[in-house]
């Protein structure tokens, strides 16, 4: 058996779930011989390294696929936000947009009909809905592009300034030489009265 090429057996063991006993039967090699060879050539280590490498590769591919899917979703949300922005721009080009109302009217035969009419009075419900939609759109755009609100930006600026102050304090404390002691002051006339 000294002339046997053990590398194909080692590779098979590393990349499959085949047991040493199954390999001994398959290749007509005594079990003790194949067991000793696997111990000598560290087949178990090769199997573990292969599985670890396979697991790492699988995790990386999964993470890459998930990141690509997430990026595509964000891109689609960004495109939808752009479309909504363009629709709002077109709508705002109509200066009577919020003065149109739908009204029910009766024609000469008595049948009801729905018509759109323009009045001087603004449609406050439509204005509220528009404001809500605009606010939602702004929030979506902020989320997609990672833009903080003014309040969030102020909080981040304050946190950054605090961090800088803390760092400066730590550096200044480490550079100073501290001396601890007691200072005795001469007694005042009031002190003399207290102790007499």
- Burial class, 142, CB count within 10 angstroms (exposed 0-12 / middle 13-18 / buried 19+): middle
Winning range, highest mean pLDDT, from 66-75, 98-107, 150-159, 173-182: 150-159
User: 63-72, 107-116, 178-187: which has the minimum mean pLDDT?
Assistant: 178-187
Residue 149 is classified by DSSP as P
Residue 1 has pLDDT above 50, yes or no: no
Asked whether the whole model's pTM tops 0.85, one would answer: no
51's tokens? 């599985």
């Amino acid at each position: 058996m000294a002339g046997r090429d053990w590398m194909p057996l080692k590779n098979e063991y590393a990349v499959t779930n085949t047991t040493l006993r199954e390999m001994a039967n398959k290749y007509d090699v005594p079990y003790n011989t194949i067991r000793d060879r696997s111990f000598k050539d560290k087949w178990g280590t090769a199997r573990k390294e292969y599985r670890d490498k396979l697991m790492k590769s699988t995790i990386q591919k999964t993470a890459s696929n998930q990141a690509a899917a997430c990026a595509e979703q964000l891109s689609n949300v960004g495109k939808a936000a752009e479309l909504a922005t363009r629709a709002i721009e077109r709508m705002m080009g109509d200066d009577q947009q919020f003065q149109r109302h739908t009204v029910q009217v009766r024609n000469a035969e008595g049948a009801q009909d729905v018509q759109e009419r323009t009045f001087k009075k603004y449609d406050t419900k439509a204005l509220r809905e528009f404001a809500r939609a605009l606010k939602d759109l702004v929030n979506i755009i902020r989320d997609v592009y990672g833009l903080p609100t003014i309040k969030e930006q102020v909080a981040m600026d304050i946190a950054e300034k605090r961090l800088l102050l803390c760092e400066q304090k730590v550096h200044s404390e480490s550079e100073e030489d501290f001396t601890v002691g007691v200072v005795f002051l001469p007694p005042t006339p009031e002190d003399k009265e207290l102790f007499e």
